[in-house]
Amino acid sequence: MASQLSLIVPFYNEEAAIGHFVKSILPVIDGIAETDWEIVCVDDGSSDATLRELVRLSETDRRFRVLELSRNFGKEAALTAGLDAATGDAVIIIDADLQDPPDVIPRMVQAWREGAEVVLGKRVDRSSDSMLKRKTAAWFYSLHNRLAHIRIPENVGDFRLMDRCVVEALGRLPERQRFMKGLFAWVGFRTVTIDYVRAPRAAGTTKFSGYSLWNFALEGFTSFSSAPIRLWTYLGTIGAFLAILYAIFIVFRTIFWGNSVPGYASLFVAIIFFSSVQIISIGMLGEYIGRIYMETKQRPIYVLRRKY
């Protein structure tokens, strides 16, 4: 009996990449024996001709299903929409830019058929990325895995296969502020890793700026660890201890050598330092409170405008 598999592909202004993607993906999935496929394409509020091209595909090939979101909700929301709509016994997430090579998919399917419930694609060669992006990614994984209770596999993105039981477990997670890499790791299940070389983009340009990547990293830290906010408790304790030691020093100096003229420079530095620490700690508190505020609104993760 043939397996029903779902391919989930988020699109945001990827008009130039669609043709390359279709030409690359169809021969791969057609070559996997005993499988029926659906390709769930999620248009995340594109402003170019991406939606029109995807709809045309759905009219010529019935395996293509298109979800049109009402606006740009972000990749995490687009992935959630795709997972909610997918009906396969297993789902595979892949980007349209082909940096994650489709020829890895048959190996993923084979590992799933051998009993794996999650099959991760791990980038063993990221030379197609800039040096800055490789370094910042390495710093993020290292710092996150030191601070968070849930470890995220290094150099593993969204490219993965998940069994139906994993998809259903993800569907039971209610949070609106979603850091999908962390959620994927949190649910667990039997996992196999497949190495691959990350390729250059097939067409178009990346939609992630440095600022959006920073916000993405901040989302990861605050979603799965309270260590950033706990840090300021430790820093405040250390500061109070040093202040007590300095007060004892002042008392003894006054007793034995008298009261000298106070130094304005040291006072200025102390005030600026502790004021800055307070402002930073308030900002960190604000990050967590802001996420609590967004969760209490109970807004949907995405709004679906139409299905094709």
Tens of pLDDT, residue by residue over 140-179, are 666 666 666 677 777 777 888 989 988 899 888 887 777 7
SS3 14: coil
For the segment 7-29, the average pLDDT, to the nearest whole number, is: 87
pLDDT band at 40 (very low <50, low <70, confident <90, very high): very high
Which of 7-16, 65-74, 286-295 is predicted with the least confidence, judged by mean pLDDT? 286-295
For the segment 80-107, the average pLDDT, to the nearest whole number, is: 88
pTM of the complete model: 0.69
Amino acid at 54: L
pLDDT band at 193 (very low <50, low <70, confident <90, very high): confident
Pairwise pLDDT comparison (280 vs 213), residue with the higher score:
280
Strand order, beta sheet including 191-197? 191-197, 118-125, 156-163, 90-93, 3-11, 35-43, 64-69, 304-307
pLDDT at residue 190 in the model: 85
- 293: Cβ contacts below 8 Å, ≥ 6 apart: none
The half-sphere exposure of 46 on its side-chain side, counting CA atoms within 13 A, is: 23
